[in-house]
Structure 1
Amino acid sequence: MKKVRLTLVATALMMAMASGSAVADQRVVDQISQFGVKYTVNDNHAALHGVDCAALGADWASCNRATITLTNPGEALTSKDWVIWLPNIRQTLRVDNDQFRMVHVVGDLTRLEPTEKFKGFAAGESVDIPIVNEYWQLFITDVMPRWYVTSENAQPKIIASTDTEDLTSFVSPMDNYWKRTADDRNVLMTPVSRFEKNSDTAQLAGEALRGQILPTPLHTTLHAEDADLSRGVQFELTGLNADSAEAVRDRFALLGLAENGQGYVIKSRLAPAAFTGNEAVSGAYRLSVRAQEAQVEGFDEAGIYYGMMSILSLLPASGEQKIATLDVTDAPRMAYRGIFLDIGRNFHSKEAVLRLLDQMAAVKLNKFHFHLSDDEGWRIEIPGLPELTDIGARRCHDLTEQRCLLPQLGSGPFADAQGNGYLTRDDYIAILRYAKARGIEVIPEIDMPAHARAAVISMEARYNRLMKEGKTKEANEYRLVDPTDTSNTTSVQFYDRTSYLNPCLDSSMRFVDKVISEIQAMHQAAGAPLTTWHFGGDEAKNIRLGVGYTDAASPEAGKGRVDLSKEDKPWAKSQVCQALVKSGKVADMDHLPSYFGKKVSERVNAHGIEKMQAWQDGLKDAKGAKDFATRRIGVNFWDTLFWGGFDTVNDWANKGYEVTVSNPDYLYMDFPYEVNPLERGYYWGTRFNDERKMFSFAPDNMPQNAETSVDRDGNFFDAKSDKPWPGVYGISAQLWSETVRTDEQMEWMIFPRALAVAERGWHRAAWEQTYQAGREYKGGETRHVDRAALHKDWQRYANLLGQRELPKMDKAGIHYRLPQPGARLVAGKLAANIALPGVAIDYSLDGGNSWQRYHDSARPSVSGEVLIRAVSSDGKRFSRVESLK
């Protein structure tokens, strides 16, 4: 009895001590969560200023210096039992304060923690932690929000000063550190430099835009009369299914044209026999607008729908509901006109996707490439595999990753945070139906064998659960890792070997087959058969084995020195993969991604899906399209032009692939709009992709672009190819979501840039030259391109966007990016302009207390500081406010 009492007493004491420890730990967490945080970039050219970046192992010996400043607003804190977790897309190579260390965990997740030399935070003290990072930090979104703090027995808390999407609240201005290299020739966009850039784009009178349609039709004959739609519209729709007809009605109603039995008559019919030659293609239509009625003839249902969208494109934004009478004969230039959306990195809602589909259909974009999985998240429900969404769709602070994935990309420690989530089976089916009604094919992508960490971790959790239940066979059914694989490898975004599913396992192929089966069943349920499967396939490599690194034992100058003896190719130590190579079925480890692509194509074909698509590098070791089992095989070509893409694109087309150009330096919408540190986005392929650059892209003659743009550092480049060019199959603009956490940010990055892609995919401009093997385009020297024609075309297009299309987006509730105004002072007066004429500009002479509308005909006098901003047509949204003195 005495022993029992002693045991109870000891247990109570231990519980009390644990409770006391937990309370103490929570106090530490609570206090640090109130710390001020300031992140300051100090030098993006550290190698030129005394830092041996090569010795630190930086890629191409490139590193930057920054400072983290922590300010303790409360009483002194001496505890060492704390960790600050921060998203850090740049690897920290050195910490120059011996009281702290930074430890990379996985992906961008990094620990900042005290060392044994930590002296504590005095009351009111600010402590600087200088660090050296790999590469550069040029845009504010290189720093991510929602740093959080933990202690052993406490609940995590986000540091309040970082819990924001307004990064300027804790990131110091980067205006002096915007150059990637010392001789960077890009132009920093300020009001003055922007004014100069915009100066060749004038506002056109409404009459000059009369009868203009976006995207531009093949043939238009304009008539003198106008058609009056002010009494609404009366539809006589034939040739459209009920869902498409409803979608047409909804779009007309959104833009203020309600149905009315006495309204303007709009008729439609299918008439495929009326189309011949190059015009007999899906989406072709003929439109006749007369004073009393309009008629649309379509080659197919898509053609009828597009004809209806062309009627709406004619509407001015002034509120006057009159359109020009005209005749149009039209057909698309390319079969594939696409938008790619990544909801793997950060989730975006079904509602945002539906709004995107509406806008795509309005400008005749017909392919929605839907990236549903990545390292950071799995975003679609798969019946029978609940862990994929229970764990893979959520990020939280669980170091075991048995409840969720570890936090990434500024999502913070809680599973209900922005960026988490998934589409249920019903959600996905609803998206498919919505897309089908608008003539859009949904192309699902499940990325593999790299970028697969969410799936790998989820299936490991499933394995552990079933093994505990004694179900060994079931546990191994869909396992994606070989437990013998101890390869040391680092993915492009700093994940370890858990980023790659193992392509040599039968269970991996069973997983692929299961996922294809379930997603195909969703398409069948939606009445939208799955005709294209996107395999992904990109970046299955170890970046430490890239050309910017060198072996420390025998180093090359100008490269980061690492111990290459410790670096492995993906799956190099997997016994299963070693056996596969030894068997002769695959040449070596480098060929595993393409080998896996071939195996997946067999499963895709077995499911009756006619086409498989991939990012081109995932198929690089195949001989050509005939190596794959599906009847058709497509690639998204994503080499940058200035690194040779103007030539290598021909190789893919000549091997029989359907090439959809997806070039980062022209078509990535996750890149910034302009060279200004306050813009959002990554920038490894170019420093900016604005509407004008994307509009000026020549997708079917890649070398031509050397005459009309510059490389990443603002330098001219030369381009030619001596190879035959079979022609482009399609064009696609991409939004990767690393820096895009909210639906509003998603729309801001996509629109209005996507409309330029619609124009280039639908219409071949007169200034686009036909590809000629051997013709050289030398940036800054040759003049093959008719620049006057390009400028005239841009001015027309820019006015259509500013005067017509953006106000229509306002009506649809789209959070598009308003262009930043240009401005300068001329003889004491404010002169302002904008890239998309028609967008209003406001100015303030009293520090923003009051705002006035700018009119170029009455330039205001300025003495002192003036603030400027752009304004949406409905007056509800504004661009960034900028200052001019």
Structure 2
Amino acid sequence: MHVNKKALTERILALLLPTMAMTSPVWALDTINQQQLNQLADTLDVKYRLLSNMPEQCPGSTAEFCYHAQIEITSPFTANVDGWKILYSQVYPATESKSEQLTLRHFNGDLNHIAPSSSFTGFEAGKSQVIEFWVASSLLNEGELMPNYILTAQGLEPKVIKSTQSYIEPDTRLEIKPYAAVSGKNSVMQSHPDDHYAKYTSAALFDKYAVPNYELDSVTHAIVPTPDSMEVFSQDSPLGLRQGIKLQLSGLEYGDVAAALQRLDALGVKQTHNGVAVHITVNGKRESHAGAYQLSTRQGKIQIHAQDNAGAYYGLQSVASLLSLDTMQVPAVSVVDKPRYDYRGLHLDVARNFRSKEFVLRLLSKMSAYKLNKLHFHLADDEGWRIEIPGLPELTTLSSHRCIDLDDKHCLQPQLGSAINADRDGYYSIEDYQEILNFAKQHHIEIIPSLDMPGHSRAAVKAMEKRFYTLTQQGKHDAARQYLVSDPLDATEYRSIQHYNDNTLNVCMESTYAFVDKVISEVAAQHKKAGSPLNIYHIGADETAGAWVESPACKQFIADKSNDVHEVEELTGYFIERVATMIAAKGIEVAGWNDGLSETRQDKMPRKVASYVWATLPQNAHKVVSAHARKGWDIILSTPDVTYLDFPYELDPKESGYKWGARRTNSKTIFEFMPDNLPANAEIKKDTIGRNYIADDRTQVDENGKFTHQPLPEGFRVTGIQGHLWSEVVRKDHLAEYMLFPRLLALAEKAWHRAQWEVPYNYAGEKYDHTTGFFTAQMRQHRDQQWQDFIHAVGYKELEKFDRLGVFYRIPNVVSKVIDNKLHASTIIPGLPIQYRINLGEWQEYVEPVRLSPGGDIELRALSPDRRRPGRIELADLTGNARF
């Protein structure tokens, strides 16, 4: 009788494996089956280990920065299986790799795969398979190390490797990544021989954050953001609001301030028949700045005289800011206030990782509490499409979620560490978006939608390809081509800034413009239905890759001289000009990122354009602002090194965040920013590795006498400023709050209040660096005092309100310094409880410096004001070299 030995072996193994899970089975080196794949996914131990941020060589790259790392894969048992592949996300592809038995390949976007090489001999129990590689970047914290490595094989159901799953730590509620091995703070901190951030020790930060003899009485009358002017009447008794308030309105409706009253109610100030009288009057005359108000809390009543309904709303929010939760009192003050900028915004990316509707509503409420008035809503990008568009269901049925389908036939590829059936996907239905628009209007916030085009458009490209193929199979060829945005015959090989090779709309096809018009028209219709007209639309227009070179459609388009396009390089500008004209024809102001707008011809653009400038300060952001200001465009400051709130708070390998524009962005970083004089910031700010830089704002010409730079036009001021939360590394709603708060308050401070200590802009032009003295010692002293006023108000008043309202803000790291054999500790935010423990003992209250004893490890942590939540634990370096 003929015996099929292979089949018999597999049958025997199938019977034995359930009882041999953690013993040491020996499998034939054969194609992996489902049971083997499942067991390996459950038991493989994977570590991503940083070896050096300054390796001696950077193979395969000429980049200034490079890091050397390895992925180590260990099985607890012997597994002689082949045919598997591990998919994982890595922000930057490896420039070179080496391994005895494994291969590493870049697939698309941030998706890479590890597979057995021809010399692979299987997993040996307890012995690691290692692949090492070099990446043209630096790895400074765990934020870039995405979770959820996926073990897959042809024809089998893929599984997430359990050891690569992150989890939420119960007490801190922070994300823990057991697979991340970014250890050794020296190697993490220094990424370049000239990296100055290595000097930022815990002791140095302790000195920087020291607060000598601050008078806490000033916190009582603090308002965040700081009002234009305030008079304090210390001789008057404060108003007690425990009995509530009684509202009297003139010139406005209750609904105009209802949301502000709801916040006061949540803080314990309710509307009652015997409460303190609150008189609110709106004069309705255009005599002052939109949003301006006057507030008085004297003589037993509260009076608000407002320029408009928004001003009345902001006046009530200032009452909430004055309120002390301990006493339920507001001090006697008189306030005259108006906003610095008309545009005070926040950019929220929900495309990369989705944010729930509930999160968006909570965020709108918090934004309005601090007088922000624009939500730049980033609804589509390469990794997801998040808004329902009638007539184009594929945008949400396919492109609102990710899975393991690498062909993008039923979903998008699993980018950014998204697991199978990821909880980071979804979309807003028409009803959801209507609710968001209505809620925003109640909070005096304008929604500015953004669906990035023509680059950053992979979600749209794949959805419309799905539509094309489906309708083509049904014989509906005209309908199939109606909204197609990619050329099926395009053979161009390109890689976008996020390493995609298929993420750009084809700008040479009429169907692409039909798609854009359809989308914008439907979004505008949703705004109109909600009673919130679409006044401004952000088209994106940034980081367009080198697409279209081998597109037959584009070759034909360029050959047609009537299109006024002569080179492939002109196509991005043509697209933006045409779409901008389309948007303007609908009565909507067009907005876009500065790099794409820079490729347009001014005579081909609408008169009214908003340029969002995202060049960094050391990269001459002031020159971009000036060039676009001279075109008559509105300028929204989006300088990443100040306004990107997806960057790390501090120099800590456990902190999350990208770092390409700034290594650390805390509240003080933002507070010190001088937005009306960008070049003057060179006196106090550094580049990405802590070096001084020069900002030359003087008139400059080339060898032919042509202007290459001119200062701002006389009297020009930017329209506004906005913070940004990009979501590549933000996987949970509460962690998005962590990245936003409390530093969003500092952004609101810059948007609302013009500080007297800021260096005035010189319209004749000036050159600035760390040696020029335009930012005088007196200005510096004034700034430092106002910083203490602001951060004490945050620490002693606003964080308590965050606790009451359930905001998951960041509790700062504890910094420390050894002085006279005693450990001194503090935080950047004053007033927080601090605890310490010695040798993993019981936590004790830090009330005075701790005397050191030999052989004792001391750990430190801060607590929220309500003491319900601890921050991250830090081990005190008693030698004074700890880095954060």
8 Å CA contact retained: 1:239, 1:304: no
Contact 2:219-2:796 at 8 Å conserved across structures: no
Q: Which runs of 5+ in 1 are unaligned?
A: 1-11, 542-568
Q: SS of the counterpart of 1:272?
A: coil
421, 433, 458: which one aligns with 1:428: 433
Deviations 1:39-90, CA, capped at 9 Å, x for gaps: 11112222xx2x353xx1x25264321111111013x111111001110112
Distance 2:740 2:156 in 1: 41
**Residues 147, 177 of structure 2: 8 Å contact kept:** no
Is 1:531 the counterpart of 2:529? The answer is no
- In the other structure, the counterpart of 1:511 is 515
CA distance in 2, matches of 1:862, 1:438: 55
Say if 1:451 and 1:499, in contact at 8 Å, map to a contact too. yes
Given that 1:670 and 1:737 are in contact with CA atoms closer than 8 Å, whether structure 2 keeps it comes out as yes
The answer (yes or no) to whether the contact 2:90–2:145 under 8 Å persists in 1 is yes
Unpaired runs of 5+ in structure 2? 1-6, 16-29, 168-174, 699-709, 879-884
1:247 aligns with 2:259: yes
Corresponding residue for residue 392 of structure 1: 399
Quick one: which of 255, 259, 283 aligns to 2:291?
Answer: 283
Q: Is the 8 A contact 1:346 1:419 kept in 2?
A: yes
**Equivalent residue, structure 1, for 2:172:** none
Two-structure CA RMSD over aligned residues (Å): 2.2
Over 3 Å counting, the alpha-carbon distance change for 1:90 and 1:203 in structure 2 is farther
**Residue 371 (structure 1) aligns with:** 378
- Determine the C-alpha separation between the residues in 1 that align with 2:791 and 2:297: 25
For 1:113 and 1:95, locate their aligned partners in 2 and report how far apart those are by CA, in whole Å: 13
Task: State the 1:594 CA deviation.
Answer: 2.0
Partner residue, 1:64: 67
Distance in 1 between residues matched to 2:245 and 2:852, nearest whole Å: 48
- 2:233 maps to 223
Equivalent position to 2:471, from 466, 474, 482: 466
Percent identity between the two aligned chains: 36
Amino acid at match of 1:341: L
**For residue 557 of structure 2, what is the aligned residue in structure 1?**
580
**Comparing 164-173 and 22-31, the one that deviates more:** 22-31
**1:758 counterpart residue number:** 748
Q: 1:125 aligns with which of 120, 124, 127?
A: 127
> Are the counterparts in 1 of residues 812 and 827 from structure 2 also a CA contact under 8 Å?
yes
| Cα shift at 1:407 | 0.3
Amino acid at match of 2:192: T
Local SS of the residue matching 2:615: coil
Tell me the residue number matched to 1:150. Answer: 152
Query: Please, which of 576, 580, 586 is the counterpart of residue 597 of structure 1?
Result: 576
Report deviation, 1:862.
5.3
Are 1:873 and 2:881 counterparts? no
* CA shift for structure 1 position 257: 0.7
- What residue is the counterpart of 1:803 in the other structure? 796
* Partner of residue 746 from structure 1, selected from 736, 741, 762: 736
Query: C-alpha separation between the residues in 2 aligned to 1:153 and 1:145?
Result: 24
Query: CA offsets, 1:705-735, max 9 Å, x none?
Result: 0111111110111213123322211101111
> Could you state the TM-score of these two structures normalised by the residue count of structure 2?
0.90
SS of match in other structure, 1:169: coil
The amino acid of 1:185's aligned partner reads H
Does the 8 Å CA contact 2:65/2:191 hold for their aligned counterparts? Answer: no
What SS is found at the alignment partner of 1:807? helix
Structure 2 distance, partners of 1:877, 1:599, is 52
**Structure 2 counterpart of 1:793, from 780, 786, 793:** 786
TM superposition shift of 1:736: 0.7
Q: CA deviation at 1:137?
A: 1.4
Aligned equivalents of 2:506, 2:254: Cα separation in 1:
46
Q: What is the TM-score with the length of structure 1 in the denominator?
A: 0.90
1:197 equivalent to 2:190? Answer no
Whole-angstrom distance in 1 between the partners of 2:771 and 2:415:
42
Is the 8 Å Cα contact of residues 31 and 81 (structure 2) preserved in structure 1? no
Q: Which moved more, 1:646-655 or 1:160-169?
A: 160-169
* Deviation of 1:697 (Å): 0.5
CA distance in 2: counterparts of 1:782 and 1:168, whole angstroms: 46
Mapped to 2, the partners of 1:672 and 1:303 lie a distance apart of 34
Matches for 1:95-134 after TM superposition, within 5 Å: 95-134=97-136
Query: Deviation of residue 150 (structure 1)?
Result: 0.7
Whether the 8 Å CA contact 1:140–1:167 is kept in 2: the answer is no
C-alpha change, 1:61 and 1:709, in structure 2 (3 Å) is closer
Letter in 2 for 1:405: L
Task: Choose from 825, 833, 840 the match for 1:840.
Answer: 833
SS in 2 for 1:823: strand
126-135 vs 251-260, which moves further: 126-135
Q: Structure 1 156/257 Cα, relative in aligned 2: closer, same or farther at 3 Å? A: same
Which AA in structure 2 matches 1:512? Answer: V
Which residue in 1 is equivalent to 2:711? 724
Q: Does 1:779 find its partner at 2:770? A: yes
When residues 789 and 598 of structure 1 are mapped into structure 2, their CA distance, relative to the original with a 3 A threshold, is same
Distance 2:74 2:32 in 1: 23
C-alpha deviations, 1:384-415, integer Å up to 9, x for none? 11111111110000122111000011112x23
Alpha-carbon distance in 2 for matches of 1:231, 1:59: 69
Q: Which residue of 2 is the match for residue 38 of structure 1?
A: 47
Q: How far off is 1:167 after superposition? A: 4.5
1:11-30 matches, cutoff 5 A? 24-30=33-39
| Contact residue 394 and residue 463 of structure 2 kept, 8 A | yes
Kindly provide the CA deviation profile for residues 630-662 of structure 1, in whole angstroms up to 9, marking residues without a partner as x. Answer: x52101101111122232321111111100010
CA distance, structure 1, for counterparts of residue 214 and residue 831 of structure 2: 9
Contact map agreement 1:190 1:676 (CA 8 A) in 2: no
Matched, 1:827 2:830: no
User: 2-side partners of 1:37 and 1:167: how far apart?
Assistant: 15
Partner residue of 1:709?
685
Q: Displacement, 1:250?
A: 0.8
Alignment match, 2:665: 689
Residue range with higher mean Cα deviation, 338-347 or 27-36: 27-36
Partner residue of 1:340 out of 347, 353, 361:
347
More displaced 10-residue stretch of structure 1: 396-405 or 217-226: 217-226
Give the letter aligned to residue 403 of structure 1: H
Matched, 1:669 2:645: yes
Number of matched pairs = 824
Question: How far 1:190 moved relative to its partner?
Answer: 4.9
What's 1:183 paired with? 194
TM-superposed CA distance for 1:188, in Å, is: 6.0
Q: Return 591-600 or 347-356, whichever deviates more.
A: 591-600
**Secondary structure class of the residue paired with 1:508:** helix
- State how far apart, in whole Å, the 2-side matches of 1:586 and 1:192 are: 59
Could you report, residue by residue, the CA deviation over 1:325-381 in whole angstroms, capped at 9, with x for unpaired residues?
121111111110100010111111111111111111011111110000000111111
Name the amino acid aligned to 2:578.
K
8 Å contact kept, 1:501–1:508? yes
Aligned to 1:213: 223
> Which of 826, 851, 862 does residue 843 from structure 2 map onto?
851
Q: Secondary structure at the match of 1:599?
A: helix
Q: What is the one-letter code of the residue matched to 2:220?
A: R
Given that 2:648 and 2:664 are in contact with CA atoms closer than 8 Å, whether structure 1 keeps it comes out as: yes
Aligned match of 2:446: 441
Distance across 2 between alignment mates of 1:52 and 1:691: 35
Q: How does 1:535-614 map to 2 (within 5 A)?
A: 535-541=539-545, 569-584=546-561, 585-609=564-588, 611-614=589-592
Per the alignment, residue 623 of structure 1 pairs with: 601
Q: Deviations over 1:739-796 (max 9, x none)?
A: 1111111111111111111111111101112111322222145353421111111111
Shift in Å at residue 281 of structure 1?
1.9
Task: Give the partner amino acid of 1:636.
Answer: Y
* Cα-to-partner distance string for 1:579-624 (whole Å, 9 max, x where unaligned): 2223342242222222111211222123222x11100111112233
Contact 2:344 2:752 in 1 (8 A): yes
